[in-house]
Structure 1
Amino acid sequence: MKPVALLLTLFCLFAADGLRSQSLNALLSGSVSTAEGAGLSSVNVNLKGFPIGTTTDKNGKYTLQIPANRPLTVVFSMVGYQSQEKQLETKAGERIKLDIQLAESNENIEEVTIRQQRTQQNMSRIDPQFSQTIPDASSGAVEALIKTLPGVSTNNELSSQYSVRGGNYDENLVYVNDIEVYRPFLVRSGQQEGLSFINSDMVSSIEFSSGGFDAKYGDKMASVLDIRYRQPKEFAASASVSLLGGSVHVEDATKNQRLSFIGGARYKTNRYLLNSLDENGDYNPSFTDLQAYITYQLSESFDVSFLGNMAKNDYLFIPQTRTTTFGTWTQPLETKVYFEGQEKDHFNTQTGALAFNFHPNSQLNLKLIASAFQTKEEVNYDILGEYYLNELEQDWSTSGTGDSILNLGVGSFLNHARNKLDATVYSLTHKGAYDSEDHLLNWGFKFQREDITDKVNEWVMRDSTGYSLPYSDSEVLLYSSSFTNNQFSTWQASAHLQDTWAIDTESGNLYLTSGIRANYREYSNEFLVSPRVSVSYFPDWEKQFVFHLSGGRYVQPPFFKELKDRDGTIHPETKAQKSWQVVAGSEYLFQAWDRPFRFKSELYYKYFSQLTPYQINNVQIQYLADQQARGYATGLDLSIHGEFVSGVQSWASVSLLQTEENIVGDGHGWIPRPTDQFLTFSMFFQDYFPGNPTYKVHLAVFYGSRLPTGPPNGERYMDTFRMPPYRRVDLGISKTIISADSFRTKSAWMTKIKELSVSLEVLNLLGIKNTVSYFWVSSNYGDMFGVPNYLTERKLNLRLSMKF
């Protein structure tokens, strides 16, 4: 069945079910207060078993549309207070007022965590439940959410990588339970990229900063993604299967709650997606991942935890043919390539971390983490391609429209690689926090050692119309080559000290966070100091506003990739990249249609006093360590978040950016950086059928304006040609078959299912062929033509999910 016909059929089925139910919504409103009658803000008001909920405003009031003509359970919950549940059964159009008082909980509360949630205005919190619903082709559900945030951009749905405010992929910090995580280094395209490290089935909280983050985070220049895995209290499990792979996870705890375990296994194959590419052949990608997080409570004040991950990523590709149509309306072109050979890649990574956590009281917390990361990577290919470049008939009045009328070039290429990388990163980290009445003190120390063996044997031979490129009348020259055998070990140490001071004023609440980082890297013999400061102000106005200002020095010591030039030669004199950054922003919390909304704006400026230039091809970053540059990035981020549909959260983001660099000594002045994307827009929208929220719709929209690129092996100043804009819409339609309040049969296995749902994802709904990079060919006249490497076309993905 064709995709459009299938969509129409599903729509008719959904509409028919909605008409049969003949049920509309009812309106629930009221207030939530303490036992003394004071209104409670930010209380969660949710429908049990349904993806519907809201939060109370600053006066404790709430409004929520709920399904009618069925029994419902409304849950009121807030950290530090005892949850309450109320049973309701309403009629269509009925208005119900329900006021609730919550009693304080006697359970111990982690005061440090709660205070940070309020004062860290440069960190955005995201509900991890959204990662279970967003339609995504890359199998990086958390990263798919991050891509919808302001300041974040992407131009490749096959990759979980993202760019933040002009930074590249390597400038993003990612932590899971305070452990920095890495990805394979030799991956050249999104086709080869396996599963993201982050297992969304295990996540309990997501925090993200797109700039201006505090000193307690590491030494990189763009962003921080801080993930926390759950520490379960009872048994739960889930399983999911789709055309792109599957996953399963299990979690449980002993009766005395001293031992808890959560683990997951995932499998991904994007063969189904890759079959829509212009390059026809036998795709056989296989990505698997095992992960576990175990915690044991030795005493009330001391616990030990282990986080482990094993990932095995194999990519096999035997190309056959490729036909790509491109060009302009006045000069339509087509290239055909016939292939021989294959590519066979292996990326195997392991991560293990042991953490000791000591918290003698509610004010003091001490943590020691020993971690190790190991990767073994191989990239092997021998691919011979013979291409024909043709001009096509453009006269629509003739019967031969689209046929070849002129051959512009004939050529061939032979690509060869035998690249290997073995890398091990060890680290020992101490982190501490002390919370007093007015101050929250954070400190830490980290020692890290890196052992790397990097062997590169890679070359490209090209000819056009019988002449080897580059041309020589005396010898056959390679178009490009790299032969290296780099082995080196190095260590680095870093430390930070940070204080957050709560200052009460007559006009509102003020939070001042100041800190400093220090870093020493043995390989480059460089000592770096990074002061950082942020201020958050909560004025006591009738309208709810928050203002924040942050900035400081951000540095990025070079990893082995930043030390290499295009030939693979190591440049030990390469110094850390350095920048001064400032971010100013505000948030406005308001009510519209009796529902909560938040409008956020941020203006930022980054000055880079020292940069290592680089070029990007797909997801591979090639640094030019033999060059240096200075640069800047400036922009404006806007976002609105709220209940556009009552009870479900949606948001939209718009970002403006300009980033340029000036390479020292090249004489070409300021040029756009590879991430110079003037305008980006993203949206995550949710909806459900009126009166029947078991039918849900999720929409993810992405737009990114034209990115700069250039010819292969060209100088950096030549990268000024702009690719077409990136445009993509992904749609998900789901049906909850079994929920917490559903009628159950007496079958034993059915009673164990808490939730059963099926969803249809329409990936690339509009069928737009986005360009990720270019393959360059030569004509008979010596001209170079950039043949677009297109991304995936429209595909349907069916998913079945269960929770136990």
Structure 2
Amino acid sequence: MKKLLLLVLFPSLLFAQKMSTVQGKIVNKFNDPIEGVAISYLDKGTTTDKDGNYSFQIPIRKTVKVTFSHVSYKTILKKFTTRGARTINFSPTLTIKTEELEEVIVKNRKKEAQGITKIDTKKVETVVGPNAGVEAVLMTLPGVSNNNELSTQYNVRGGNFDENLVYVNGIEVYRPFLIRSGQQEGLSFINSHMIQNIDFSAGGFQAKYGDKLSSVLDITYRKPTESSTQVDLSFLGASVTTEGLLFKDKLSAILGVRYRDNSLFVNDKQTEINFRPSFTDIQTFLSYELSSKVSLNFLGNFSLNNYDYKPLSRRTRFGTIANPLELIVFYQGQEVDRFQTFFGAFSMDYKVNENLELTGIVSSFNTQEEEYFDIAAQYNLGQVNTNLGSENFGEVEFAQGIGSQLNHARNDLDALIVNAQVRATLKDGNNEWRAGAKYQRENIKDRIREWEIIDSVGFSVRPPHHNIGNNQPYTPFTGPIEPFQNVRAQNTVDIDRFSGFLQFSRKTSWGDHDIWFNAGVRGQYWNVNPVGGASKSHMIFSPRAQFAIKPDWNSDMLFRLSGGYYSQPPFYRELRGFDGQISADVKAQKSIHAVLGNDYSFTMWNRPFKLTTELYYKDLSDVNAYSIDNVRIRYRADNVTDAYAYGLDVRLNGEFVPGSDSWISFGYLKTEENIDNRGYIARPTDQRIKLGILFQDYVPNLPDLKAYLNLVYNTGVPGGAPAYADVYEFQNRLGDYRRADVGVSYIFIDNNKTTSNKFLNNFEELSAGLELFNIFDIRNSITNTWVRDVYSKQQFAIPNFMTGRVLNFKLRMKF
């Protein structure tokens, strides 16, 4: 009888041993149980009871994907793998879905009505480029440009790098002061692996944003809902991002560590160098829920850029087919730079009730920068033999210019920026009020010791402004030898700023048409107090407005008009002139914006598309004119310039390939300036034509093999002028900027793909790919080096070329 009973029970016991139990309790962030959570797995399903409890069984030695979903909470996906029969306890905390339904115009068009471009974070993860990330995506948009692939800085509609606002979680972030080359930048402040939302406005933005002339980039870092770690490896560096929940899921934490090395690009340039860069960045965002109404947040960042640069030689050919020239340079010396920044911000969000929210923020930014170099160069500028029958064809046969130069710098800067601010948001039905006030203190200590000596065929070249005659060889020259450039200054400046804003928004209707409008004003008072000089106070007001209407038409269209009177109070860089001295009298630059836009959403090939068009005009006054050398901006520190900018931006985005969003953008820009009433000339950022394509595709029979293309074409910008030269006499342009980067990747496993491979089941995501930068090996130029011809006294503009074709391998893992 016992044998018979054992024989009957054996199959059941055997089956039971092949199953594991998953059980737990599902709650929200306030530790309240959630009833009715749908749990689906292996074509089966169950739900939680009134106490939030659940239980189900899964087979052993098999990875099972389980989905937890609820109409009021965000869905989460979890993988379970067991090697033996056991009980797994899993008690997740679901995050409430936050949908501002009362503020949606129609089809969630609020951002579009505000003139804000919302960028998909997946684009940031997949974009191909030497500096892949948010900025790389921005540079494919119309109106946004930069001719330097080693830099993350960008120009928007004729503005320069200093005219762009960048926010992370509502906190303005800054970039180092002394960096003069894209090679020195290293890493962007924004860690693309920590991002949840990306909003961008190219002009006509609201009063809640700060006092800049060109654009706003508004980044939101995410609050994790589960634990995970992502590792990215490539020939250019590495990054690790880990996130999770602690203290009964009340504390969400995300930490990112990045390392970058640009030597792969720099070693491909025409200058032979020993280059040992080291760019390191550590960033964290913490959020603690004190209660259902109060949360505390911390955003911290530390970055260290060590830039060791030792040039050896350079060989550059330029000129025309009929008159080719070659520059050969031999170097001695080195450059050793160090840029170290610290940033920390505490904030508190208090939700008083359903209609009123308050936010308080205190933050501090410190940058310590050293720029030390001694580089001697001996150059030979010669004509290239173009006679096909000559034995010396292609070689330099006649030297037009022979000379040398010595560049020296011992520059140190220490800047501390601290601020405190409060913001409030009040909602009343379709009305919304926003207000804020901010105090900021800036302390900058800057020592400049920088000079350049130029020698041409044994004669020291003095600066053009010297007043000592030279009648050699008939009369001996007894005057002192002066450096061609010599900047010596020591500045200590304290700047106090008080700013605030008030704005009103309303969503309403006009008949069957939906309408949204916004009106607001900003104000700022600041006092510049240079040590050893007279202090100066200034004040500005900046009224702004936006209007959008969605007609009740068969065609899905949205029209918007925005503008205002924008002002940009000077930062430290804008107060410092070419001579290194501080001018406290510099006023705010001003600009009247007018932006007219249209969004047309339609269906083509049974897939969604959207055409966005914007016309804009800027009338600028009290402009502080500047010159650009790579990414260093040098200001005149005066307000004697007027300028204007106008243009057209067009972008078509949609599913050119089913399931993959891509876009094509086109921009036309004209911007000119009138310096001290001498007449209008092109501004340094006059980028007339811009074409950008961001395209992604996949192999139909192998959808896990994906391809990405990033293509940019920009017409040339003005090439600058030699030191002390009149910019009105040097209006030649650099060549057009043309670049195409392509990448392919294969996804081994992700949330949408399962596998029976035991090794791959250790990963939540795993992909590998190859990136080919500058696939056509086009030599784009970024600036000019100016070389003298001793015979004709002419100065030649020698283009400084950027990177060539480079291959990169990339590996991504997520646990």
Distance 1:79 1:165, change over 3 A: farther
Choose 399-408 or 309-318, whichever is displaced more: 399-408
Distance 1:310 1:672, change over 3 A: same
Question: 199, 210, 213: which one pairs with 1:218?
Answer: 210
Distance (Å, rounded) in 1 between the aligned partners of 2:495 and 2:522: 20
How far does residue 115 in structure 1 lie from its aligned partner after superposition? 4.3
Gaps of at least 5 residues in structure 2 are 1-40, 42-63, 78-93, 464-469, 471-476, 529-535
Q: C-alpha offsets along residues 578-619 of structure 1, whole Å, 9 cap, x if unaligned?
A: 111100010100000000000010000000121000000110
Question: 595, 615, 634: which one pairs with 2:607?
Answer: 595
CA contact (8 A) 1:112 1:435 kept: no
CA contact (8 A) 1:710 1:718 kept: no
Gaps of at least 5 residues in structure 1 are 1-47, 49-71, 86-104
Question: 102, 105, 110: which one pairs with 1:119?
Answer: 110
How far does residue 364 in structure 1 lie from its aligned partner after superposition? 1.7
SS at match of 1:290: strand
Distance (Å, rounded) in 1 between the aligned partners of 2:608 and 2:253: 37
Distance 1:719 1:257, change over 3 A: farther
Query: 1:155-166 counterparts in 2 under 5 A?
Result: 155-166=147-158
Distance (Å, rounded) in 1 between the aligned partners of 2:808 and 2:116: 33
CA contact (8 A) 2:622 2:639 kept: no
CA contact (8 A) 1:235 1:250 kept: yes
- Partner in structure 2 of residue 732 of structure 1: 743
1:766 lines up with 2:776 in the alignment: yes
Q: What root-mean-square deviation, in Å, do the aligned CA atoms of Structure 1 and Structure 2 show?
A: 2.3
How far does residue 395 in structure 1 lie from its aligned partner after superposition? 2.8
Query: 1:292-307 counterparts in 2 under 5 A?
Result: 292-307=284-299
- Partner in structure 2 of residue 423 of structure 1: 415
Question: Where has structure 1 moved over 6 Å in runs of 4 or more?
Answer: 72-85
Distance (Å, rounded) in 1 between the aligned partners of 2:111 and 2:726: 42
- Partner in structure 2 of residue 136 of structure 1: 129
Query: 1:602-613 counterparts in 2 under 5 A?
Result: 602-613=614-625
How far does residue 499 in structure 1 lie from its aligned partner after superposition? 1.1
1:109 lines up with 2:103 in the alignment: no
The letter of the residue matching 1:123 is: I
SS at match of 2:135: helix
CA contact (8 A) 2:649 2:666 kept: yes
SS at match of 2:159: coil
Question: 354, 368, 385: which one pairs with 2:346?
Answer: 354
How far does residue 74 in structure 1 lie from its aligned partner after superposition? 14
The letter of the residue matching 2:749 is: I
1:491 lines up with 2:501 in the alignment: no
- Partner in structure 1 of residue 594 of structure 2: 582
- Partner in structure 1 of residue 681 of structure 2: 671
How far does residue 339 in structure 1 lie from its aligned partner after superposition? 0.7
Distance 1:217 1:719, change over 3 A: farther
The letter of the residue matching 2:796 is: F
Q: C-alpha offsets along residues 40-74 of structure 1, whole Å, 9 cap, x if unaligned?
A: xxxxxxxx9xxxxxxxxxxxxxxxxxxxxxxx999
Distance 1:643 1:399, change over 3 A: farther
1:722 lines up with 2:733 in the alignment: yes
- Partner in structure 2 of residue 88 of structure 1: none
1:344 lines up with 2:336 in the alignment: yes
- Partner in structure 2 of residue 548 of structure 1: 560
The letter of the residue matching 1:290 is: I
- Partner in structure 2 of residue 620 of structure 1: 632
Distance (Å, rounded) in 2 between the aligned partners of 1:278 and 1:531: 50
Distance (Å, rounded) in 2 between the aligned partners of 1:285 and 1:616: 23
Distance 1:76 1:766, change over 3 A: farther
Distance (Å, rounded) in 1 between the aligned partners of 2:247 and 2:552: 46
CA contact (8 A) 1:119 1:536 kept: no
The number of residue pairs the alignment matches comes to 711
Query: 1:32-111 counterparts in 2 under 5 A?
Result: 107=96, 109=98, 111=100
CA contact (8 A) 2:186 2:262 kept: no
Distance 1:110 1:480, change over 3 A: same
- Partner in structure 1 of residue 20 of structure 2: none
CA contact (8 A) 1:509 1:538 kept: yes
The letter of the residue matching 1:436 is: D
- Partner in structure 1 of residue 26 of structure 2: none
CA contact (8 A) 1:633 1:658 kept: yes
- Partner in structure 1 of residue 318 of structure 2: 326
Bigger radius of gyration: 2
How far does residue 222 in structure 1 lie from its aligned partner after superposition? 0.3
Distance 1:108 1:484, change over 3 A: same
- Partner in structure 1 of residue 786 of structure 2: 776
- Partner in structure 2 of residue 511 of structure 1: 516
- Partner in structure 2 of residue 697 of structure 1: 707
Distance (Å, rounded) in 1 between the aligned partners of 2:72 and 2:521: 33
1:635 lines up with 2:647 in the alignment: yes
Distance (Å, rounded) in 1 between the aligned partners of 2:412 and 2:745: 43
How far does residue 627 in structure 1 lie from its aligned partner after superposition? 5.3
1:232 lines up with 2:242 in the alignment: no
Distance (Å, rounded) in 2 between the aligned partners of 1:271 and 1:502: 52
SS at match of 2:290: strand
- Partner in structure 1 of residue 809 of structure 2: 798
Question: 222, 236, 241: which one pairs with 1:249?
Answer: 241
1:651 lines up with 2:660 in the alignment: no
Q: C-alpha offsets along residues 214-252 of structure 1, whole Å, 9 cap, x if unaligned?
A: 000000000000000000111111001101000000000
SS at match of 1:227: strand
How far does residue 255 in structure 1 lie from its aligned partner after superposition? 6.7
How far does residue 76 in structure 1 lie from its aligned partner after superposition? 14
How far does residue 112 in structure 1 lie from its aligned partner after superposition? 8.2
Name the TM-score, length of structure 1 as normaliser. Answer: 0.86
The letter of the residue matching 1:557 is: P
- Partner in structure 2 of residue 755 of structure 1: 765
Distance 1:76 1:466, change over 3 A: farther
Distance (Å, rounded) in 2 between the aligned partners of 1:177 and 1:168: 24
CA contact (8 A) 2:688 2:715 kept: yes
CA contact (8 A) 1:775 1:787 kept: yes
Q: C-alpha offsets along residues 635-663 of structure 1, whole Å, 9 cap, x if unaligned?
A: 00011010000001001110000011111
Distance (Å, rounded) in 1 between the aligned partners of 2:76 and 2:608: 22
Distance (Å, rounded) in 2 between the aligned partners of 1:768 and 1:353: 43
Choose 271-280 or 715-724, whichever is displaced more: 715-724
How far does residue 436 in structure 1 lie from its aligned partner after superposition? 2.1
Distance (Å, rounded) in 1 between the aligned partners of 2:701 and 2:119: 27
SS at match of 2:650: strand
Distance (Å, rounded) in 2 between the aligned partners of 1:80 and 1:347: 47
CA contact (8 A) 2:411 2:450 kept: yes
Distance 1:106 1:559, change over 3 A: closer
Distance (Å, rounded) in 1 between the aligned partners of 2:513 and 2:580: 56
The letter of the residue matching 1:763 is: F
CA contact (8 A) 1:238 1:802 kept: yes
CA contact (8 A) 2:643 2:672 kept: yes
CA contact (8 A) 1:386 1:413 kept: yes
Question: 537, 555, 576: which one pairs with 1:564?
Answer: 576
Q: C-alpha offsets along residues 742-796 of structure 1, whole Å, 9 cap, x if unaligned?
A: 214345xx43311111110000111000001111111121111111111000000
Question: 482, 489, 493: which one pairs with 1:477?
Answer: 482
* Identical pairs, percent: 41
Distance (Å, rounded) in 1 between the aligned partners of 2:96 and 2:370: 52
Distance (Å, rounded) in 2 between the aligned partners of 1:486 and 1:621: 18
CA contact (8 A) 2:570 2:586 kept: yes
- Partner in structure 1 of residue 722 of structure 2: 712
CA contact (8 A) 1:136 1:763 kept: yes
Distance (Å, rounded) in 1 between the aligned partners of 2:147 and 2:781: 8
Q: C-alpha offsets along residues 97-155 of structure 1, whole Å, 9 cap, x if unaligned?
A: xxxxxxxx9946352896496323311100111111111212x5111011111110110
